Amino acid sequence: MSLDNIQLPAATIAALYKKSLVELKTAPAKENNATTSSINILGKNAKGVVIIVSNTDTAYLPDDELNFLLGILNACKLNMDDVGIFNLQKNEGVDYKTITSSLKAEKILLFGTGAEEIKLPLSFPAYQIQQYNNQVYLTAPALSALQTDKAEKTKLWNCLKQIFSI
């Protein structure tokens, strides 16, 4: 008899495995908050900076616009861990209340979208830093338009310097 063919009686096997290898009792599943789970962002949003874009073609931003945005964030001493990019087109029916409560937003930058699209109860022009409900809002043209216009980039940079104390 070789060691490869040892057969143990059922009582011996039961004695060896007194505890089950599979847990049959399961804990009840936790219910997810529908509001939080319905909001999809790119980034970890560690510093409460939410960047709202409106793009129907991609999940968040095309590669060239994302690279441009990463350059802006780098100049502001931020990275993708610090911000959350939110595509308004992929999260229909979400308003500023949901964004600020679910994402704990302190600074909200709107690129290519206006305050009325997130149902903000006030209106303000592009490049005007607006305080409302303990948040800072800034609207600017779409990133695709900013990439090619040096004057618009300068206006944006002047606002970002104030917002992020650069």
Overall average pLDDT of the 19-24 stretch: 58
Q: Which residue has the higher pLDDT, 84 or 12?
A: 84
What per-residue confidence (pLDDT) applies to 44?
A: 93
pLDDT at 8 over 90: no
Please state, as a whole number, how many other Cβ atoms lie within 10 Å of the Cβ of residue 147: 15
Contact 50, 108 (CB under 8 A): yes
CA angle 158, 164, 166 (to 5 degrees): 65
In a domain, 76, yes or no: yes
The 10s digit of each residue's pLDDT in 100-134 is 889 899 999 999 999 999 999 999 999 999 999 99
Q: How far apart are CA 104 and CA 23, in angstroms?
A: 38
Q: State mean pLDDT over 85-114.
A: 90
Domain total of the chain: 1
CB 39 within 8 A of CB 103: yes
Residue 153 located in a structural domain:
yes
Domain-located, residue 152 = yes
Grade residue 7 by pLDDT with cuts at 50, 70 and 90. Answer: confident
The residue segments making up the domain with residue 48 are 35-163
Q: What's the CATH code of the domain at 56?
A: 3.40.470.10
Q: Determine the pLDDT at residue 90.
A: 87
13 falls within a domain = no
- Per-residue pLDDT tens for 22-66? 555 555 544 333 344 468 899 999 999 999 999 888 889 999 999
Domain annotation covers residue 135? yes
Between 156 and 18, where is the model more confident? 156
Mean pLDDT of 78-86: 94
pLDDT of residue 29: 43
Q: Domain for residue 3, yes or no?
A: no
pTM of the model: 0.75
In a domain, 16, yes or no: no
Is 9 inside a domain boundary? no
